[in-house]
Amino acid sequence: MKVIALLLNIAFLTGIFCLPLQQSFAQSNGNRDLVTREIADSDAFFREMSRKPRPARDNAARVEAMLRKMTLEEKVGQMTQLTMGMFVSGADQNVQIDEAKLDKAINKYGVGSFLNVSDQALTVDRWHELIGRIQDASMKTRLKIPNLYGIDSIHGANYVQGATLFPQEIGMAATWNPALMHRAAEITAMETRAAAIPWSFSPVLDIGRQPLWARFWETFGEDPYLTKVMGVSFVRGLEGTDISSEKSVASSLKHYMGYSLPLTGRDRTTAWIPEIYLREYVMPPFAAAAAAGARTVMVNSAEINGIPGHINKKILKDMLYGEMKFDGFVVSDWEDIKKLVTFWKVAKDEKEATMLAVNAGIDMSMVPLDYSFADHLTALVKEKKVPMTRIDEAVRRILKVKYDLGLFENPMPSAAARNNFGRPEYAQVSLQAARESLVLLKNEGNILPLSKNKKVLVTGPAADSLISLNNGWTWVWQGSELSLYPKDKMTIRQAIEQKVGRKNFEFVQGTRITRKPGSPSNATPTDIDEEVDVKKALDEAKDADVVVLCLGEGSYTETPGNITDLTLPETQLKFAEAIIATGKPVVLVMVEGRPRVISRIADRVPGILLALNPSNEGGTAIADVLFGDYNPNGKLPFTYPRNPNNLIMYDHKLFETEETAFGNAANKPQFEFGTGLSYTNYQYGNLRLSQPSIPVNGEITVSVDVRNTGARAGKETAILYLRDEVASVSPAGKRVKRFAKIHLEPGQSRTLTFRLNREDFSFIGADNKPTVEAGEFTVLIGGLSDKFTLR
């Protein structure tokens, strides 16, 4: 069996394995842990992932029986979520159960859910100890309702020390590999549940169309179709086929919805989103994931068109439960009911805010630092300002998730689940994800791959930083605590030195990113760029054959990551210009979570490799690509801007990139959406449509041949776009409708086949409803195009 596992491992890493569509990832079979498959048709994979699994048992009767036994106070307790600090004393690694705090939470208030850490990730043993004590206390209550613990497992079980971490969502999007996303999510679920945590606040399904936003890297990029496919794969990986299994956790779709489109680009600020745009671009990923069975939804902390997400009945009730048929529960984000008073000024006090939020559809409040929600809600029900039917509705939903998770049968931490933590093969999946996430943006004169016999200078602020490779939500909220990072994972510097040997290697820091502590007027720490040993770096560059210049960002998320300019910091740009001025060939490695503008230097370097927070295996993956041990195949899931005020998306109107538009220069990005080079070449040909004309309710088949004309094996992502030539609502220049990711040996050719139907031809009309209109459509793929007519 070990031999079989080894062979499958090799097949996974080389990309030569192609499984039948029907074969699942079968978490229970260890021999398949490293098996992936090609994505010959994204829609077929999406439809398979979208099949909502049948529950292991129908818990409706059990839920109703429990609900009938509960008092008002017990029901309100189930709707209350508190943070770790409300049941422990101490901080960081020194947290201990505070018996008085725990007794108040469980026995007085009947708190149904806890979340978070006390700043730092904990070991599996500590998680078992803490959650075991919580559940032990819960089992001594009158009804013995288990507690539901939630955590932000964003790119792996990042709040469990020693867990396997994966590229952030923006990096996973660059892989264009939903099968890999699914496997990463399975591992995330197993390692989260191994720590006795059954609920993850992921995936982020916000659409990444505002690159200034501090959480851009938590998205799957700017396209709703790619986000939908990757998001559903994430959900099904987390929840599995049996959510009560020790290998599965409940997912939480966030941040429902519109959170990622702040008008100013600053986190948790106002978004202006017309309903037609909301339905066309923002809603589809959430609708798809809800249909696929996601158990919970977390709400947008900000507001849309003046209505805060936490009191938006249309979005929370009409659209989520009515149109999307969601059947899980809705949780608020951190303190967001309180912020209806302090930030948004839509309620005069917290009691009124609680009434508005619960009546609008909030089932559980992430309070999380006091008992105000429980006190206010109990009083509101007694005053008949919140109907008991609404309380029962919320608690029914919460209890259902707890029953589905198997918490009533198995509330205590499982020793057996530990066997699913930290398996050696998980690191190989992480490495493969990191490799596939890397995007080769420029390779003039085939400067890459580099020779291992040439003398290499590695320099720049991201060169020796695991923090830059990971970003936020890594061991701590901001990802900034270096002492918690694993010692056996290599930075770019270390991986390149191992690749070429000490004789051909030199490292000089040049500049660095330093975390500046918060001031009395601003408690939030910020990153600053500073020079370290620039002169030494310039001197060493003169003696090198090639310079690998690693620029980019440190770590951040949410409001600490707010910036006012997408341009790469001046310190880094000046350093880059000085390195370029030495006259030595420069390969630029950008390690970042959002596209920092590099137009001052991009045209002056022959090679650019983009690393979108590839995580702990990122250093190894980058070295593998730079020196040709892995053939890059990532593609941009967003449009890389050339200028800070030139934030065009790939699906712009056609006239926006014409030289004559408005009598000024064309709106040109630095790199187009879908850009991604390889060390081999692919040729597309023989595009054919099954018929020139079809009825509006018909289906058309699109086929195209893809051939590897180069000398190396590689993976190619073929992206199929569709253009509606004329429509009653001004049409996009093109929209992604399908994609495929396939492996091709040198000289090998494959025929890809896609089917398009009414859903693909539709758009949101002026009446805010899906519309299909007769007319001409253009199919575009691999530089080829053809037309057909809907009649």
Q: List active site positions.
A: 333
3-state secondary structure 687-749: EEECCCEECCCCCEEEEEEEEECCCCCEEEEEEEEEEECCCCCCCCCCEEEEEEEEEECCCCE
Contact, 218 vs 267, CB < 8 A?
Answer: no
Q: In sequence order, which residues have a C-beta less than 8 Å from that of residue 486 and are 6 or more positions away? A: 162, 466, 616
- 335's tokens: 């303190």
Spatial separation of the C-alpha atoms in residues 297 and 257, rounded to whole Å: 10
Query: What's the burial of 100, exposed, middle or buried (CB within 10 Å: 0-12/13-18/19+)?
Result: exposed
Secondary structure element (H or E) that encloses residue 389, with its range:
helix 388-404
Residues in the chain: 791
Alpha carbon of 309 to those of 324, 340, 453, 635: distances in Å? Answer: 17, 10, 57, 33
H-assigned helices in 96-206: 99-103, 124-138, 169-175, 178-194
Spatial separation of the C-alpha atoms in residues 456 and 608, rounded to whole Å: 16
Query: DSSP secondary-structure letter at 145?
Result: P
The SS3 call for residue 790 is: strand
Cα first-last separation, the chain: 57
Q: Which residue has the tokens 């959430």?
A: 286
Crossing angle for the helix pair 350-360 and 388-404, nearest 10 degrees? 70
Neighbours of 91 (CB within 10 A): 13
Contact, 35 vs 19, CB < 8 A?
Answer: yes
- 465's tokens: 């930083």
How many helices and strands (H and E) does the chain possess?
Answer: 24, 30
Contact, 251 vs 202, CB < 8 A?
Answer: yes
- 38's tokens: 């090609």
Beta-sheet strands, E only, within 257-370: 296-299, 303-304, 307-308, 329-331, 365-366
Query: What's the burial of 97, exposed, middle or buried (CB within 10 Å: 0-12/13-18/19+)?
Result: middle
Spatial separation of the C-alpha atoms in residues 749 and 469, rounded to whole Å: 36
- SS percent in the chain: helix, strand, coil, step 5: 35, 20, 45
Report the candidate in 536, 549, 650 with the shortest Cα–Cα distance to residue 601.
549
Secondary structure element (H or E) that encloses residue 624, with its range:
helix 618-626
Spatial separation of the C-alpha atoms in residues 516 and 522, rounded to whole Å: 11
Spatial separation of the C-alpha atoms in residues 602 and 588, rounded to whole Å: 8
